[in-house]
A and B are shown apart, each in its own frame.
Chain A
Amino acid sequence: DAKTTQPTSMDCAEGRAANLPCNHSTISGNEYVYWYRQIHSQGPQYIIHGLKNNETNEMASLIITEDRKSSTLILPHATLRDTAVYYCIVRGFYGGSQGNLIFGKGTKLSVKP
């Protein structure tokens, strides 16, 4: 079972920031938080990941709470092309059996004009 809880769906106005929450209260010390998204009929696309510090790249920012039990993915200026299902995944560092990704149902983000 997925170790994360996400809202089923969210709406966001085009040009505004989209803030997608994720709860992972059972995360352990060596587990990372990964975010992927999947646009209809395509393969999942990697967005960002982090361990305990906040992270930013050209796509998004990841804010992880100090106790690491929750995180928020921020898309600073959402566009219509950001409409997708967003998956928050907790995953061990060492890969393999601890590292295959376990996807939940994700959050369906709809960006509206």
Chain B
Amino acid sequence: DTGVSQDPRHKITKRGQNVTFRCDPISEHNRLYWYRQTLGQGPEFLTYFQNEAQLEKSRLLSDRFSAERPKGSFSTLEIQRTEQGDSAMYLCASSSTMTSGGGETQYFGPGTRLLVL
């Protein structure tokens, strides 16, 4: 079990450019979540997938943001026409709805830190 991985770990871009982040969940986890964390705040939910279906989006996910999980395994989060306000840590988490014992525990990756200049 290698845990949740995210790539890249750091990204610096200029305002107006597009960026794409990738998340590889724990193997066989059917749920995948994206969160955003700005400095001094706790993570905030953006969206989540169950298998390949995107089941919920937060109001934080503007039209410039799109997320996919085409084969129910890895996921990508794209931000188009980046703005300085998009600067944040983007976190991915995965979970399984098929574990016993109650609750559905999300395991987080290390995050991708985005800086928009």
Q: Is there an interface contact between B110 and A42, defined as CB atoms closer than 8 Å?
A: yes
Q: Is there an interface contact between A43 and B45, defined as CB atoms closer than 8 Å?
A: no
Cα A88 to Cα B84 in complex, Å, equals 30
Q: Which one of B48-56, B64-72, B74-82 contacts A?
A: B48-56
Set of chain A residues within 8 Å of B104, measured between Cβ atoms: 93, 95, 99
| B85 proximal to A (CB < 8 A) | no
Chain A contact residue count (CB 8 A cutoff): 26
Interface bits B86-108 vs A (CB < 8 Å: 1, else 0): 00000101010100001111111
Chain B: which residue is nearest A36 at the CB level? B108
From the candidates A49, A87, A104, name the one contacting B105 in the complex (CB within 8 A).
Answer: A49
Interface core residue of A49, A91, A95, A105 (most chain B CB under 10 Å): A95
Cα A42 to Cα B111 in complex, Å, equals 7
A21-48 contacts to B, CB under 8 A, are 32, 34, 36, 41-46
Set of chain A residues within 8 Å of B43, measured between Cβ atoms: 44, 101, 103
List residues of B whose CB falls within 8 A of some A CB.
4, 31, 33, 35, 41-45, 48, 50, 55-56, 91, 93, 95, 97, 102-111, 113
